[in-house]
Amino acid sequence: MATGSPRTASSRSRPPQASPEHLSQHLSQRPSARASGAGAGPTGERVVGAGRYRRCPCRHRSPRSPVSFVPVTGVATFRAADPPRDSVVEFSDDRRTIALPMRAALPVLTKARGRDDVHPSVGLLAGAVLLGMRLVAAGKFGPGADLASWRVAPLDEADRARVEQLARARAHDDLDVASAADVVRQVLDAVADTMPRSAPVSPTRRPAGAGAPPRPPVRAGAGVDAFAERLQARIARHRTPAARADLPQLVRISLRVEADEEELVGGTLRVVLQVHDEQDPLHVCDAGVLFTAGGDEHGFGDRARTHASIALRSAADAWPVLDRLLALRVPDEITLDTDELVSLLDHGVGALGERGVDVLWPRALGRDLSSTAVLDATPRQGAAASGHREEPLNEPLLGTETLFSFRWQLALHGDPLTAEEMDALAQAASPVLRLRGAWTVVDPSVARKARKRLIRTVKPAQAVAAALTGVVQVEPDVDTSVVVGASLLRVRERLTTAATREPVEPPAALRAELREYQRHGLTWLAELTSLGLGACLADDMGLGKTVTLIGLHLHRVAAGHPGPTLVVCPASLLGNWEAEIRRFAPGTAVRRFHGSQRNLDGLGGPDGPEEQALDGAGSGFVLTTYGTMRVDARTLAAVPWDLVVADEAQHVKNPASSTARALRTIPSAARVALTGTPVENNLTELWAILDWAIPGLLGSRNAFRKAWAAPIESGQEPTRARQFADLVEPFLLRRRKSDPGIAPELPPKTETDHPLTLTREQVVLYEAFVRDTMERIERADEDARRGMVLALLTGLKQICNHPAQFLKQSGAVRLTGRSEKLDLLDELVGTVLPEGGALLVFTQYVAMARLLESHLAKAGVPHQLLHGGTPVREREAMVARFQAGDVPVFLLSLKAGGTGLNLTRADHVVHVDRWWNPAVEEQATDRAYRIGQTRPVQVHRMIMRGTVEEKVAELLGRKRALADAVLGRGEQAFTELGDDELRDLVELRR
């Protein structure tokens, strides 16, 4: 039988390549595969290597071709044998002789035919091999007379001419034309017997089956004639249009699931292999038809079977159960038992889908069973049995003892299953189940959810978070949609509408006319705290957060929550809080827990004596500082606070600080954070504030960084940003002065950047400091490098301020003429004071503030300095003097005076040096630009040209333009720069 084209036959029969020494070694060790170790030629002589060629057991491979170690330039001798496939070709030259069996000699001779330096005997054999391959490809061969070997069929006139022509062309001194023609005919028979995959089997050799009648003798030549007829018929069929390339050859496969009623009852299914045209998926047939019928029936080319087999083998790699199909002669279908069906549903469908193999399910076999995570309050013990209805929504629903649960709810065609149906599904032994009158295939993952319906229980804050975002992480890093139960639906509705609903009436005890946005803020705070939740009021500085919080305290007292309110704030704001409470709630008790005044008598609990306010305003306010709270947290924690308020809450933005940890230990019914800058540097600061106000809402710090902060700050996941906004928006209320309708009466604010030039002294200091420090930074290790970068930035900013600050000069030292910043300040003071104005002068360095203080004192300008070391009482007195107009110039360190103070007497704000965060600068500016300001405010920022100040100013401008997006990490971000980037940032540009 024909085996294909000559190229295919020779490549299939090619022996492993090996070096000459390696091959010679094995040939010398095993000269023959026969028992005698030799074969006999037609003359009876002993021939080396006459046996069948065997592969070297070590499977050595060499990049050299067989021709490279076979001496084809020498004489080649053909040793004929019977059967012809055992013939041997012997190649020899002056150095060696190599004998190859016919199967190994074929590739050597086919390659040698194209060379010009071969011996004529090699050329004769090579031409004969090529002619023999052509005859085999044309089907001109058949069984020999003994039916045990293949022979070339009788040659026609054209083939005989080719044999004669080859013999004449390759005859040489040792071989005449007639002998050469005989050799060619022997080679043709050897090729015909070597290329087919197996020898023909004589009917007389085939064993009869048990009891089978003996076969009649076969007439000589009958087998040859019958084979020739079958072979020519097959060749003719291959040459018909049905096998041409116009029929599709490239195919893909799919699996069709089938089952009858009996199989379904037994929990088994059948999988039928289908074949699709790769270009036209609608052209499909069963694999059984493809492998048994002709192209006129299934419409595919002959190579489609090969491609289907390859695709099936790839699918079996993905789902090993398909190995059973590969073992079938006709891969039509297999029956799956329960374990195999579970394997298909559990991972087989997904693995096959990745290989492009679809699994098609019948409509009668439903797979519309879905699962949903449902979140609702955990039923109380015995509540369901007693048939009591859920209590109306009130504060205890989100109390600290309330638990919520995530549970799996299964549904068929979207209709939830009953508890009995889920029990039946959980107990089913087979993934095929009759449900509601129809057969349904149950994925193992769905069955597991039916068996374990409770996912987990959570605290109220986590339940609220899931209700707001609509997702929950059942598995790590996998978001699952969640359906919110009826009780939490009402909570979500109240949360999302709290800031926009009809505002509540201001408390009767409040002696203030609240603006519309303040009434909405009060309503929002009242709604959240009534649910037992905390909140973060993040209005711009100067929009009245203090009076809104006082209104909240009075509102809760009137609603039946008479407990005291603890306000924790910076020391500089104690006086402001006390004054505001006495002004807007004159009947409310207020005391300080600070310094020597640390009295909490009457606040010990419901059984102890209470100091009620004159008009029933509860136990009133207790004011303390962050430092005092940190030291006396245990004493404060013993009081049953109704509210705990953290003013300027950015002071606890570091959750690992002792202040933040102490604040978390003080319990209360509700917590409120007040801040004008909820995010100064990164989202983790917002997490710290909200996690104190609503513990558990955003998860742990690490979980928050992974799930929210990192994706949002990267800017690559807008979906996460929207989900985060949905989550925090109900708990974070932020209004700006620039928002429509918020503060229309505020006068305009003008911001001016003043570009200045370094003096000669500053240039020398700046360049020398950059040069020396950069050399040390480039040699430093990573840990030391960070500190050096921060020291470099600090030093350069000090040089830009004034050389005396960098050189740490003080006392009787000349200040004028050494920095244009000082000259500009003199100019502003000389312009503003004659017009009756007042200035706030901010710097982040106390040392620079003292230099300015010394300079103004020499100039005779009235001024005062507030910094972190100023006592509380003195701070209050300073504010009062400035507001009264007694002191027109107020010097402030940015950290001590940039928050909480009301300094509306000023109409000019000067920033001597730049802070790394624009939000901090704006907060400082808001000391003057706030409600109560009646004059236009001008903001002056001093920037040295060509220095790090100018480059940082450009970065700050970009940050400000982001408008509430995530800010950078301040100075720490610069420590991440490479040496070249850092040098570009700090080098002086002229």
Q: Are residues 36 and 120 located together in one domain of the fold?
A: yes
Q: Average pLDDT, stretch 785-790?
A: 87
Which one is predicted more confidently, 203 or 443?
A: 443
| Confidence check: pLDDT of 817 > 80 | yes
Which residues are paired to 569 by β-bridges? 625
Instruction: Using the predicted structure, report yes or no on whether residue 130 has a pLDDT greater than 80.
Output: yes
pLDDT value for 770: 92
Query: Regarding predicted confidence, which is higher, 49 or 476?
Result: 476
Q: What is the pLDDT of residue 875?
A: 86
User: pLDDT tens for residues 929-951?
Assistant: 887 888 999 999 999 989 988 88
User: Residue 896 corresponds to which tokens in the numbers above?
Assistant: 């001590």
| Distance, CA of 933 to chain centre | 50
Please report which confidence band the pLDDT of residue 392 belongs to, taking 50, 70 and 90 as the band edges. very low
Residue 686 and residue 822 in one domain: no
Query: Rounded to an integer, what is the distance from CA 744 to the centroid of its chain?
Result: 46
pLDDT at position 899 is 67
Q: What is the CATH number of the domain that holds 518?
A: 3.40.50.10810
Among 433, 463, 494, the domain-final residue is 494
Is the distance from CB of 966 to CB of 713 less than 8 angstroms? yes
| DSSP of 11-73 | HHHPPPP--HHHHHHHHHH-S-SSTTS-EE-TT--EETT-SPP---TT----SS-GGGTS-TT
pLDDT of residue 298: 86
* Domain-embedded: residue 244: no
Of 463, 494, 525, the last residue of a domain is 494
Give the 3-state DSSP-derived string for 585-646, with helices as H, strands as E and coil as C.
CCCCCEEEEECCEECCCCCCCCCCCCCCCCCCCCCCEEEEEHHHHHHCHHHHHCCCEEEEEE
C-alpha to C-alpha distances, 855 to 392, 834, 912, nearest whole angstrom = 69, 19, 14
Kindly state whether residue 503 falls inside one of the protein's structural domains: no
Give the pLDDT confidence of 754-773 residue by residue, as tens digits: 989 999 999 999 999 999 99
CB atoms closer than 10 angstroms to residue 963: 7
124 and 185 inside one domain: yes
Does residue 18 surpass a pLDDT of 70? no
Instruction: Supply the pLDDT for residue 818.
Output: 92
Tell me the range of 376-385, 480-489, 647-656 where mean pLDDT is highest: 647-656
- In this structure, the answer to whether residues 701 and 787 fall within a common structural domain is no
CATH code of the domain covering residue 954: 3.40.50.300
Same domain, 812 and 872: yes
Residue that is last in its domain, among 468, 494, 520? 494
- β-bridge mates for residue 99, sequence order: 90
**Average pLDDT of every residue of the chain:** 78
Whether residues 353 and 374 share a domain: the answer is: no
Task: For Cα atoms 885, 891, 895, give the angle at the middle one, nearest 5 degrees.
Answer: 125
Residues 352 and 417 in one domain: no
Higher per-residue pLDDT: 687 or 400:
687
Residue 197's pLDDT is 61
For the cut 70, the answer to whether the pLDDT of residue 837 exceeds it is yes
Please check whether residues 563 and 703 belong to one and the same domain: yes
Tens digit of each residue's pLDDT (9 = 90 or more) over 859-882: 999 999 998 888 878 888 899 999
- The per-residue pLDDT for 819 is 93
Residue 223 lies in a domain: no
pLDDT digit string, tens, across residues 334-356: 998 888 888 888 888 899 999 99
Of 494 and 99, which is predicted with more confidence? 99
Instruction: Report which of 251, 250, 259 is spatially closest to residue 360, judged by C-alpha positions.
Output: 259
Residue 905 scores a pLDDT above 90: yes
* Structural tokens at position 740: 């429509």
Instruction: Please name the helix (run of DSSP H) or strand (run of DSSP E) that holds residue 376, with its range, or none.
Output: strand 369-377
pLDDT digits (tens, 9 = 90+) for 722-757: 778 788 888 888 888 777 777 777 788 888 889 899
Looking at the structure, tell me whether residues 649 and 566 fall in a common domain.
Answer: yes
The residue written with tokens 């949905």 in the block is 726
Whether residue 148 sits in one domain with residue 60: yes
| Tens digit of each residue's pLDDT (9 = 90 or more) over 409-437 | 777 777 787 778 787 777 776 777 777 77
133, 20: one domain:
yes
What value does the mean pLDDT take over residues 451-475? 71
Q: What is each CA distance from 132 to 9, 188, 193, 232, in whole angstroms? A: 12, 5, 10, 17
Dist CA 767 CA 777 (whole Å):
15
* Portion of the chain with pLDDT greater than 90, in percent: 31
pTM (predicted TM-score)? 0.52
Per the domain annotation, does 740 fall within a domain?
no
Whether residues 596 and 714 share a domain: the answer is yes
Residue 221 lies in a domain: no
Q: Is residue 387 part of a domain?
A: no
* Contact predicate 134/158, CB 8 Å: no
Confidence of residue 57 (pLDDT cuts 50, 70, 90): very low
Q: How confident is the model at residue 113 (pLDDT cuts 50, 70, 90)?
A: confident
The predicted-structure confidence for 556-590, as pLDDT tens digits, reads as follows 999 888 899 999 998 878 888 998 999 999 989 99
Whether 501 is covered by a domain: the verdict is no
- What's the pLDDT at 783? 78
Please state, in angstroms and rounded to a whole number, the distance separating the CA atoms of residues 292 and 31. Answer: 46
Q: What is the mean pLDDT of residues 636-661?
A: 90
- Per-state percent for the chain, helix, strand, coil, to nearest 5: 45, 15, 40
pLDDT band at residue 52 using 50, 70 and 90 as cut-offs: very low
pLDDT at 962 over 60: no
- What H or E segment, with its residue span, contains residue 577? helix 574-584
- Strand order across the beta sheet in which 75-79 lies: 75-79, 88-92, 97-101
pLDDT of residue 207: 41
> How large is the C-alpha radius of gyration of the chain?
47
Total domain count for the chain?
5
High-pLDDT (> 70) share of the chain, %: 78
Confidence class of residue 308 from pLDDT cuts 50, 70 and 90? very high
Token pair in block for residue 702: 């690490």
Contact 97, 90 (CB under 8 A): yes
Question: Which domain does 153 fall in, by range?
Answer: 6-194
For the chain, the distance separating the N- and C-terminal CA atoms, rounded to the nearest angstrom, is 90
Instruction: Say if 743 falls within a structural domain.
Output: no
Buried (b) or exposed (e) across 15-48, using 16+ Cβ within 10 A?
A: bebbebebbeeebeeebbeeeeebbebeeeeebb
Confidence of residue 525 (pLDDT cuts 50, 70, 90): very high
